[in-house]
Structure 1
Amino acid sequence: MFNEEKNPLARLITLAVCILCFSFNAKSQIPAKKYPSLLWEITGNGLSKPSYLFGTMHVSSKLVFNLPDSFYYGIKQAQVVALENNPELWQEEMDKYNFSNLGDMGFGGMDNVSTNEYLNISDLQFKPFTKKLAWAVSSTPIVLNSLLYRSYGMTSNDFEEDTYLDMYIYQIGKKLQKKITGVEDFKKSMQMTTEASIDMMTEQNKKSRSYSMDEDFSFSKLSEAYRTGNLDWLDTINKVNSRSDAYDEKFLYLRNDIQANSIDCIIKSGTSLFVGVGAAHLPGQRGVIEQLRRKGYTLRPVSWGERSSTEKDRIDNIRIPVNFSMQTAPDNFYTVKTPGKLFASKNRATNIFGLQSQFADMGNGSYYVVTRVQTNAAIMGFSNKQVEQKLDSLLYENVPGKIISKVAVTNNGYRGIDVTNKTRRGDVQRFRIYITPFEVVMFKMSGVGDYITKGTEADIFFNSIALKPLKNNAWSNYTPTVGGFTISLPGEPVQFISKNNTIFGIADSSENVQYAIVRNDINNYGFVGEDTVDLNLLHESFRNSDFITKTVQSQKTFLNGYPIMDAQYQDKTNNTYQCRYIVQGPHYYALIAHYAKPSKKVEGFFNSFKLKPLVMGNEQTYSDSSLSFSVKTTYFPKDQLKDNDLLQTIMNKYKQMAVKLDDKEYDTSRQNIKIWEGVFESKSYHNDTTGENILVTYSTPARYYFDKDSISFKRTVYGDKKMEDSSWIVREKKIDSLPNNVYTRSTIYTSKNSSRTLLTKVFYKNGVTHTLMSESDTLGSHSSFVSHFFVSFAPIYEPDPVAFEPFQKKSKIFFQDYFSPDSVVHKRALRFLQTINLDKDDFSDIKKAIAQLSWKKDKKYMTKKALWLSKIGT
């Protein structure tokens, strides 16, 4: 999901997620006293039916599947089956939070759209697609293993069941038609687990690890403790190995409270319950067992008999009926029926090869995947037949296990291959792969054992696939739904949208000519390149494609005021590539035609291209609480509307951890950091479809920040220090004073020999600054998304602003805080002693501060005194 090796935050979040999913468990050689079983009957307190509490271990190892009749009896008797979190909600919940963005948020809160990009030699270079095809056939989205199996590779395959114990409990509940729920909230659990890890890292009184402990209390004994159902031993192992009371408090005990309260709420309503939570949550005075007893319930350990293999086999053979619904690709290229919503993969490591969407049928242990690999084969000179041959040659090495059957298929004019295989674990899988001129689309279904061959689900899935028909219409003008350009094409092209790149492709089978329109979007708010340099780089990039042998000709000119380059190349088969490169602000277009013989239709393709205004939707009002603004605009990125406050909370906790490591008593709430240290945060609001981007920054100064430069205020409000550079040309500047002492400055910058422009707008009030940046061109061709955003942008100021005017001296308020009888306020002021600006007028207060220093009472006495003495000379 993100690069764990390079990103300490990523490692932290990964640790948190893993701990949440794999709770501790523990002990068995020591005689059990209070907690001799994994399964507990709950009665009393007015209950008419018993309920059951079970301690799970979140793994697929066979050692946790020694399940007796009493385990199955408890589930059968219950009306509701619960786990820590409701598995039926996992896919929706996980889709809300794009953890892959955490690595790019940084301390400034940036999202994953860079605003410091440059054209490079690979932007227009077409590369071989064989590795992409191999990946498509062999890969499965990583999230499916986490959701369904939790298998740990070949060394453990022979010692694992088909799923992990929690999922097995859920599957039994579904097969026995029980209602499913959770005793925790996904979002809250994630937050608490992250906070627990941070609290452990910042705890003052960490426990020291003993290396002379009894081997019976080592973590290596956890499995044995669990297998024998000895929760006393398990609890002891956890306590002996605990390194942090702060971690245990949030990860274990506070979650115990939540679980016990949820169980109480369910069963006191008269509903009988079977609930499985991590075994570590059960024992101890603060464990779930004792908490339920204190609520008035009677909990009795249920004897743990022999494994009931007959009952397990009977339940395993039950199929859960599923209801299929039609799913449509975002670009409408395919429709297919699946038992649930297809969720787009957020794994960046795999998305560089292609796009995957998946649905996990967790009740049956099966999954459905659609993978799309952009090959651009037609524009590279490959026929569909040649791509099919390449694909066929890859199947033996890349299809898991043994291929059982391979059949040729077609769908609305597209050729394909239907493959059925059996993995080494004995699971039957089925693929259906279709080849189009510009991409390969693969539909895959997999299940446990022979699940897909014994039911109708596979037939419903594969028979429902419908691809948009392959056909050439009469030549006509084509305009994308969002506008941007119009061009004459022999039909409607396929469209591929990826980060900063969009390709429209179509093949004219009547004349064997392939066409493509490629748009690259480059966002850079600190640099504007010369048009001729950019055109040359586009030319060099395409020429570096493997199939190009030489450049025939190239020429720069203008088209309706826009700089362009026309070029021709020869490929390895002596066919011709004709290209036109166009620079339109942050958008770089390449028109490409590949043919054996020139024709009037090819000429018409190039001559018909015209840049058009972008078309957006209706204007709506949106707000962003983190950057404190509202805006009326025709487009707002969907990701910005998602419930991603959990990610921001995690990010803030990470920042707070960095501060806590330096000062254990420092209040690390976001509001306190905002008051004392100031903030600088930014986000990019990016429209993938149009390629437009708006950068919004929000900043407040630190409590004691003082800028002594007498003209800084004028520069902030009326100018821009960053832009005081001879390479920038100010095309337009407008300064306004708004009500309530709000100042604004709108500026359009450009540079010599460039048609690109940089649009900026600054809002300033009492030290709070909002800045907007976007790019356009000298002809002003940005969409209503940009124009409405800039015009309607309205900062939201707090009624009692916490920011302090940076152009007013702060020594008075600093010394008020420093000499405060409140030790917390004093320490906060002391943190900023090194950076506070003081002068000769503050000498008496400096002298007083030095006099109050005490060798006995003040830690780092010499350091503090040296700092105060250094202030005398300022």
Structure 2
Amino acid sequence: MPLLLNAQKSNTPKTLLWRISGNGLKKDSYLYGTMHVQDKRVFNFSDSLYHYLEKADGYAMEVDLRDFIDTMIQRAITDHEAEFFRDDEEETVSKPSGKKNATIDSLLKLVKDKNDPASRKRLIKMREALVRMSLKKRAEMPTIMDAWFYGIARRQGKWLGSVEDVRDQLPLVDEVGSDMDEGSLKSSPAEVGRTLENMIQIYSSRDLDALYDWAKPGMGQKESDRIFVRRNLKMIRSMDSLARIRSVFFAVGAAHLPGDSGVIKLLRDKGYTVTPVLSSKYPDPDKYMSKLAEAPWLKVEDRDKSLWIDMPTSASDITMLGDALVMRYSMDITTMTFFMVASIEVPEGAESQRIKDALNNNKKVTVLSQKEVENAGLKGLQGDAFSNNSYYRIQYLYRKGRVYMLMAGGEKKKTLESADVARFFQSFAPREVVKPLQPWYSQQLSEKGMSVDFPRKPRHNRQMEKEMDDAETQHVVYDLTDLKADVYMMLRIADLRVTNVIASDSSYFQTYRSSFASTIDSVTRDEAGLWEGFPVFYLEGYTEKRDVLIRVMALNRGNRNYTLYAGGNPGKNSQAILDRFFQSFKLLPYQTLPRQKQTSAEGNFSSTVPKPFYLYQDTEEGETPLQLSHYVSADSIEAVWYEVVKTPIPKYMWATSDSGYFNMAVKAYISWDDSVLRQQPVVNNGLKGMEWVIHPAQSHVEKRIRIFFSGDSIYKVIAYIPAPYINAAHHNAFFEDFRIVKPEKKADMLKSKASMLLNDLQSSDSATAAEALGALWDAPFTKKELPLLYEAYKKPYADDSASSYYSVRSQLQFVIAKLADNSTLRFVKDNYKFFTGSRESLKMEMLNLLAAIQTQESYTLLKELLLNNTPQEAGDHELSYRISDSLKLTATLFPEILKLADRPQFGDRIMQITAELLDSNIILPAIVMPYAPAVYQYTDSIINVLRKTDSSDIEGYTERSRIHLLARLKQPEAYQLLQKYTSINQTFIRMEAAMLLLKNEQKVEADVLRKIAADRWFRRDLYDSLIAMGKEALFPLKYLTQELMAESDMYNIAYDETPVTEMELLGVRQIQYKGELKKFYLYRIQLGEGDEDEVETYLGIAGPYSVNEKEMRIKTSITGLYTTEAFDEEKIDEHFEAYLKEIAEYYDSEE
């Protein structure tokens, strides 16, 4: 229902009917402002209206409603088909819970933040439902006003038309919801009803000025232009043309009439005289209509000429599944009754089952009643049903190899009992059909390098392409449905967009397994191989619900993927057709695009490529757009991108040999598991370079790279090409013909930049210091630069205040240690003593340097300095974890290092490595005993601090080492400290201490065990640990139930990396599982924190448990989350069954 347009206020006569004359018209035409509702109060028309409607030669409304409805139905069907193949992540919108306004808020947020189309669609449906509810209460008339006039004009035999085309209206339909109004969405039905009632009252007054005043505040300029101004201009052009041919009665929404841009003003501006028509008599509309003769019905046949049937208007074609199903459709807009008929070929013998399935297996349809019927000598089923706000009656009738579908209905249930509906069904007359056999159609796409055969010409499914396209991939889709053979076939070609590559063929194919996991019940083929040298993947399986065999073949050819997808009846005839479909697939040689010399827009390089180079906007790690120029020329036929990346030579880059700087430049393009197939020097127009051909471990797409240095720039000439084509002549031309237009002498790359790099580590400019630090690890230092490194190590740095893996000093340690030179020991020994005063803590870092060197000599010196010149102040510095990289070397520090166990800066690390050495039996407890008092004293001080510390701030694993050390000492003092640990408010620590006490036959208070058992995370571990020690009797009885054990099992599995924020037991299911009756506990599990779009909710399944409540343990657990779909309260059992099937398939594949 259009909104009302703002207009300038004037004393406009109170009428909706206007005469159009003058400007050369031979006959007057007429204009009436309508309201698109079915409320009988607005059907109070004057006798003048009926008179001029009779007098006019034609009738034109805004848009031909029949064409509009036909188009919208076809779009809805096409969208529905495409949704079947839409990516789950794109399709799924989590089901908001709670109040209506909370739902609207969450959907609006998704629309605002992510422009989410699914959320927008839901909001539009919510708004439509709200308006529909109010309109339905006021729908006394059989149709809206415009269609009522159409019915009168049709009965009078007038010319019928419209002032707008369907294509003018469709953009408005698409734009509905683009400006989501939170207020209108949250309106109550009563508020919407009051608004509508107010509008009806104003309209019934026939006061255009009042309409203008009422609507004036309600619309912005943009919306006004979109909905009215542009359309009004189009209406005027149409009215001008139509009125010059014949006298026309124009009916358009009243909102289009008033205002400076209204139809009345625009007609006058065009030279017409537009005058009001006033009346005082208003006949009853029903009585007027009853006097008119009925409009004749038309006889309609279907595409296959298999039937005749009567319809009130000419029939339109509505297609589904390409051209597999063509339905003849007629909409009588005067009664809002639709009529539809179709004839469908089906496999012989399947007719009866098909009509039962068609009537009963649509979840979106509510079947109100059904019965067996016979019509025109054919048997079948008849059903009355409700779906999409409409009631309809449908008959499925069948004969050998064919099913007929007859359907009629409308928004009101009483429509089903109307004379028109009865006439439609009674007029059905089947005909005999003999269809000639059609030859198979070869779908050749030479521009994509392939061909495949279909039983007939397939549909180019552009709608599905639109649904599948995304930022990384562009698609071509052809598909065909053969209802007689009961098969569906699809060819999908996915081209990666420019600069994207298939990095892993196996990962790419894994997406097919994931996509079909919830569809295929039993997998019969899961196989990867090669097809003419290219990776190919086959997936086949059976779907029980639909009784369908699904077959998929996916082939990667460079950055292009071909997928054949088919599904069909398991019968031999259907499978024979699919066999031929798959066997017909062929790879065709690519057509080589013409190539010519192309120079970059900046004029700095050229090469032979198919298209001009353009600048691609991106960045590489550590670079800004200003530092990097990335040029691309695309070969769309082969999906190969020719790339030239120009970057400045890094400030700190140097090499120790000519090949060295090339190797440094290519480093970013070679992964650890790649194979270098070729590395060779090259010369392009006198400029020396290096070329590599690199074969990735996971992909058949090879990287071919040439690198040149010119002046202060690096040129990387790159193409990702399938292995069979890597040396093709047209690809060679890109590399061989590459020229730098004005090559410059390259910088001296053999000159060390170590001094500049090390000096910049101290720069006061944070960006410079950070850039230097980033280059430090990869810099090609040699032992010649060790004196510079030693001097750099002695300098102070901004990040010296604490130990950090990424600090300047830590990185210098790694660099120095990597060079493995004996002079480093002399450097440490000579300089250690100078780190005093404010730099005393850095002695700890020099000790860590010795630990990083990992030699007997370095540990000897480490021990000497640690014991004889112990750092008196450590600050936030600590002994590095690397001190225990070699436990054999670590053991040489013992037992003397234990003297420092009671010092805060050493105690934690010393107790950790002591526990590791004891656990590894490298040292014995006896070595530790003389120093045990220091260990006890330091531990007791730590426990006193922990008692006052929040549990979330306690480093549990640091204390774990200390706890294990105490347990190994087996002394009364140690046990007393372990008892103290059980009082710490962190379950992990409490559990560790309690279990070690029990293991050493020490008593643990029942309350300690109760607190551990109360924690869902540790409950199962506690039970299993006590069982293993033969002390299960100690487990708290309060928590010794199968349900609470299941809760712990579920919580442990669900809490993987994302926190469990909600966990609700939904119920228990007892089923036969692997031949035994077993129990499963089902949960609603919510994961994640923060915004709603960061929270995920799934069905959790714990089991299988014994039906014996006293049995707590599971022999083989399959506890887990069903993550294929988001949690849906209405699909709990469906998801449970799907999860069990996924688990069964997993174990089958493992076997």
Which gives a bigger RCO, structure 1 or 2 (Cα 8 Å, sep 6+)?
1
TM-score range, shorter chain: 0.3 to 0.5
Q: Select the structure that is richer in helix.
A: 2
TM normalised by structure 1 equals: 0.48
Find the structure with the greater CA-based Rg. 2
TM normalised by structure 2 equals: 0.37
